[in-house]
Amino acid sequence: MEYIFVLAMVGLAAAMVGGGLFFSRLVAPHNPGGNKSVPYECGEQPIGQAWIQFNVGYYLFGLLFLVFDVEAALMYPWAVVFRSTGLPGLIEMLIFVLVLVIGLIYAWRKGVLEWV
């Protein structure tokens, strides 16, 4: 079965990450405290907590990405049979995409795609 390679890959990746963690724990000195437990902020002292309230723009971008992610996933079967379905298949897919483009234009007009 061809998925034996996937399994081997998963095993190798787990061994590499786990081995790295294990040997660094074995070799590295361990004395926590002070500034070492502070979240890394490129040398700045972080103010407040790491868990803040996010801007809602992130969520809308995520939603838009998800919609076009689903669209892309549904385009794969069409791409496989593109030659045999020909022009009717192309038109059907164009209708599908156009409806989503309406949504993109709506989001664009409402300023979802703008930061600040």
Partner 1 sequence: MISSAVYTVMFYGLSAAVILLAVLAVNLRQLLRAALALMGMLSLSAGLYVLLHAEFLAGVQVLVYIGGIVVLIVFAIMLTRSSELLEDHPRPLAQVLGALLSMFFLFVAALALRDTRFPVQVQTGPPVDDVRQIGLLLLDRGATGYLVPFELLSLLLLVAIIGGTVIARKVAPPKQPFTTGGDARGETITESARTQRDIVPGEGAP
For the record, the structure tokens of 73 come out as: 């996933």
End-to-end CA distance of the chain: give it in Å, rounded. Answer: 52
Residue keyed to tokens 């399994």: 7
Q: Distance between CA atoms of 87 and 42, rounded to whole angstroms?
A: 54
Q: Which amino acid is at 56?
A: V
Are 107 and 113 within 8 A, CB to CB?
yes
Q: Distance between CA atoms of 89 and 81, rounded to whole angstroms?
A: 9
39 makes contact with partner 1 (CB under 8 A): no
Going through 1-116 in order, the beta strands assigned E by DSSP cover none
28, 43, 79, 87: which one contacts partner 1 (CB under 8 A)?
79
48 makes contact with partner 1 (CB under 8 A): yes
24 makes contact with partner 1 (CB under 8 A): no
Complex with partner 1: residue 21 or 99, whichever CB lies closer = 99
21 makes contact with partner 1 (CB under 8 A): no
27, 42, 87, 95: which one contacts partner 1 (CB under 8 A)?
95
94 makes contact with partner 1 (CB under 8 A): no
List of residues contacting partner 1 (CB under 8 A)? 1, 3, 6, 46-49, 51-60, 62-67, 69-74, 76-81, 84-85, 88-89, 92-93, 95-97, 99-100, 102-104, 106-107, 110-112, 115-116
